[in-house]
Amino acid sequence: MDLKWRTLGGIQIADISEEVENTIIREIAEGNKIKVCIGCDSQMHGVDCQFATAVVFIREKRGGFIFVAKENNKNYHGKIKQRMLDEVSRAIGTAYKLCDLLDRYDIPMEVHADINQSPNFESNVALKEAMGYILGMGFEFKAKPDAFASSSCANKVVQ
Protein backbone atom coordinates (compact mmCIF):
# COMPACT_ATOMS: atom_id res chain seq x y z
CA MET A 1 0.00 0.00 0.00
CA ASP A 2 1.42 3.36 -1.01
CA LEU A 3 0.49 6.01 1.54
CA LYS A 4 0.23 9.73 0.79
CA TRP A 5 2.62 11.43 3.21
CA ARG A 6 2.67 15.06 4.33
CA THR A 7 4.13 17.24 7.04
CA LEU A 8 1.90 17.99 10.01
CA GLY A 9 1.51 21.46 8.47
CA GLY A 10 0.06 19.96 5.29
CA ILE A 11 2.99 20.09 2.84
CA GLN A 12 2.81 17.02 0.57
CA ILE A 13 5.75 14.58 0.52
CA ALA A 14 6.32 12.83 -2.81
CA ASP A 15 8.54 10.00 -1.50
CA ILE A 16 8.76 9.27 2.24
CA SER A 17 12.10 7.43 1.95
CA GLU A 18 13.71 10.29 0.06
CA GLU A 19 12.26 12.86 2.48
CA VAL A 20 13.51 10.90 5.50
CA GLU A 21 17.00 10.61 4.01
CA ASN A 22 17.13 14.33 3.18
CA THR A 23 15.94 15.08 6.72
CA ILE A 24 18.61 12.84 8.26
CA ILE A 25 21.35 14.48 6.18
CA ARG A 26 20.12 17.96 7.16
CA GLU A 27 19.79 17.12 10.86
CA ILE A 28 23.26 15.54 11.01
CA ALA A 29 24.74 18.57 9.20
CA GLU A 30 23.12 20.82 11.83
CA GLY A 31 24.75 18.75 14.57
CA ASN A 32 21.52 17.25 15.88
CA LYS A 33 21.39 13.80 17.43
CA ILE A 34 18.07 12.26 16.33
CA LYS A 35 15.95 9.17 16.71
CA VAL A 36 12.85 8.12 14.78
CA CYS A 37 9.66 6.78 16.32
CA ILE A 38 6.93 5.28 14.17
CA GLY A 39 3.35 4.68 15.26
CA CYS A 40 -0.20 4.41 14.01
CA ASP A 41 -3.56 5.29 15.52
CA SER A 42 -7.11 4.79 14.31
CA GLN A 43 -10.55 6.20 14.92
CA MET A 44 -13.90 4.69 14.07
CA HIS A 45 -16.46 6.98 12.38
CA GLY A 46 -19.61 4.90 12.24
CA VAL A 47 -18.64 1.87 10.12
CA ASP A 48 -15.62 3.61 8.59
CA CYS A 49 -12.18 3.56 10.15
CA GLN A 50 -9.53 6.21 9.70
CA PHE A 51 -5.89 5.22 10.22
CA ALA A 52 -3.00 7.66 10.64
CA THR A 53 0.65 6.65 10.60
CA ALA A 54 3.31 8.98 11.99
CA VAL A 55 7.06 9.13 11.49
CA VAL A 56 8.34 11.25 14.37
CA PHE A 57 11.81 12.76 14.44
CA ILE A 58 13.08 13.54 17.93
CA ARG A 59 16.03 15.88 18.23
CA GLU A 60 17.95 15.38 21.46
CA LYS A 61 17.22 18.47 23.61
CA ARG A 62 15.76 20.31 20.58
CA GLY A 63 12.18 19.12 20.06
CA GLY A 64 10.96 17.26 17.03
CA PHE A 65 8.64 17.12 14.04
CA ILE A 66 6.31 14.70 12.30
CA PHE A 67 5.48 13.27 8.89
CA VAL A 68 2.00 11.73 8.67
CA ALA A 69 -0.12 9.65 6.32
CA LYS A 70 -3.86 9.16 6.65
CA GLU A 71 -6.03 6.49 5.11
CA ASN A 72 -9.77 5.83 5.25
CA ASN A 73 -11.19 2.31 5.28
CA LYS A 74 -14.85 2.19 4.34
CA ASN A 75 -17.05 -0.41 6.04
CA TYR A 76 -14.30 -1.57 8.41
CA HIS A 77 -15.51 -4.53 10.45
CA GLY A 78 -12.48 -5.29 12.63
CA LYS A 79 -13.13 -5.57 16.36
CA ILE A 80 -10.81 -3.81 18.83
CA LYS A 81 -8.10 -6.49 18.80
CA GLN A 82 -8.02 -6.63 15.00
CA ARG A 83 -7.94 -2.83 14.77
CA MET A 84 -5.00 -2.62 17.20
CA LEU A 85 -3.10 -5.22 15.17
CA ASP A 86 -3.97 -3.38 11.94
CA GLU A 87 -2.42 -0.24 13.49
CA VAL A 88 0.71 -2.19 14.41
CA SER A 89 0.89 -3.67 10.93
CA ARG A 90 0.82 -0.21 9.36
CA ALA A 91 3.54 1.05 11.72
CA ILE A 92 5.71 -2.01 11.00
CA GLY A 93 5.21 -1.56 7.25
CA THR A 94 6.55 1.97 7.48
CA ALA A 95 9.37 0.94 9.82
CA TYR A 96 10.35 -1.85 7.45
CA LYS A 97 10.38 0.56 4.52
CA LEU A 98 12.72 2.94 6.40
CA CYS A 99 14.87 0.57 8.48
CA ASP A 100 17.74 0.07 6.00
CA LEU A 101 17.97 3.82 5.50
CA LEU A 102 17.99 4.50 9.25
CA ASP A 103 20.58 1.75 9.79
CA ARG A 104 22.81 3.28 7.09
CA TYR A 105 22.95 6.53 9.09
CA ASP A 106 22.95 4.76 12.49
CA ILE A 107 19.67 6.40 13.53
CA PRO A 108 17.84 4.55 16.34
CA MET A 109 14.20 3.67 15.72
CA GLU A 110 11.27 2.65 17.90
CA VAL A 111 7.88 1.28 16.85
CA HIS A 112 5.06 2.53 19.06
CA ALA A 113 1.78 0.69 19.62
CA ASP A 114 -1.32 2.57 20.78
CA ILE A 115 -2.01 -0.25 23.21
CA ASN A 116 -2.38 0.12 26.95
CA GLN A 117 -0.26 -2.08 29.18
CA SER A 118 -3.01 -2.18 31.81
CA PRO A 119 -5.60 -4.97 31.47
CA ASN A 120 -8.23 -2.44 32.58
CA PHE A 121 -8.26 -0.99 29.04
CA GLU A 122 -9.85 -2.50 25.92
CA SER A 123 -6.75 -2.18 23.76
CA ASN A 124 -4.81 -4.49 26.12
CA VAL A 125 -6.34 -7.54 24.37
CA ALA A 126 -3.74 -7.08 21.60
CA LEU A 127 -0.67 -6.32 23.76
CA LYS A 128 1.06 -9.72 23.60
CA GLU A 129 0.52 -10.16 19.87
CA ALA A 130 1.60 -6.60 19.09
CA MET A 131 4.72 -6.89 21.23
CA GLY A 132 5.63 -10.22 19.62
CA TYR A 133 5.00 -8.86 16.12
CA ILE A 134 7.15 -5.75 16.62
CA LEU A 135 9.97 -7.48 18.52
CA GLY A 136 9.84 -10.41 16.09
CA MET A 137 10.53 -8.00 13.24
CA GLY A 138 13.60 -6.81 15.13
CA PHE A 139 12.28 -3.41 16.16
CA GLU A 140 12.27 -1.73 19.55
CA PHE A 141 8.76 -1.81 21.04
CA LYS A 142 6.95 0.85 23.09
CA ALA A 143 3.37 0.71 24.39
CA LYS A 144 1.29 3.27 26.29
CA PRO A 145 2.17 5.41 28.18
CA ASP A 146 5.52 5.55 26.30
CA ALA A 147 4.06 5.19 22.79
CA PHE A 148 3.75 8.89 21.94
CA ALA A 149 4.21 8.40 18.17
CA SER A 150 0.89 6.56 18.06
CA SER A 151 -1.06 7.82 21.07
CA SER A 152 -0.19 11.52 20.68
CA CYS A 153 1.24 12.25 17.24
CA ALA A 154 -0.82 9.96 14.97
CA ASN A 155 -3.81 10.57 17.23
CA LYS A 156 -3.81 14.28 16.28
CA VAL A 157 -4.47 13.32 12.66
CA VAL A 158 -7.44 10.96 13.20
CA GLN A 159 -9.48 13.01 15.63
Fold of 5-158: Nucleotidyltransferase; domain 5 (3.30.420)
Rounded to the nearest 10 degrees, how much is the dihedral formed by the CA atoms of 88, 6, 56, 119?
-30
- pTM of the shown model: 0.94
What single DSSP character describes residue 41? E
Q: 61-72 pLDDT, tens per residue? A: 999 999 999 999
Q: 81-127 pLDDT, tens per residue? A: 999 999 999 999 999 999 999 999 999 999 999 999 999 999 999 99
Per-residue pLDDT averaged across 135-139, rounded?
95
Whether pLDDT at 27 is above 60: yes
